Chains A and B, each alone.
Chain A
Amino acid sequence: MMTHWAAISTVARRELAAYFESPVAYVFLVIFLLLAGFFTFTFGGFFERGEASLAAFFNWLPWLFLFLVPAAGMRLWSEERRLGTIELLLTMPVAAWQAILGKFLASWLFLVIALALTFPIVVTANWLGDPDNGVIASGYVGAALLAGTYLAISCMTSALTRNQVIAFILAVVLCLLLILVGFSPLTDLLARWASPWLVEAVTKFSVLVHYDGFQKGVLDLRDLLYFLSVMAFTLLATGVVIRNHRAG
Chain B
Amino acid sequence: MKRVSPIAVGCLFFFLVPCAFAGESLDKLYGTLEKPTYIKYYEIDKAEKVLLNPYLQIASAQHPGILHSRRSPYNWVIDAKGRVGIIQEADHPYGRTYAKGYVRPEDNSKRKPGTSEKYGHISAVAGAPSRIGGEILFDKRTRSWVINNKSGRYSLGNVDRTPEQLTNAAKLIQVVIDPGEVPWGSVVFLLKYAPKNVADELQKGPDVKYDDVATKSNPYVLVDPLPDNATLVGQAAANDDPS
Genuine A/B complex? no
Using a CB–CB distance below 8 Å, which chain B residues touch chain A?
none
Using a CB–CB distance below 8 Å, which chain A residues touch chain B?
none
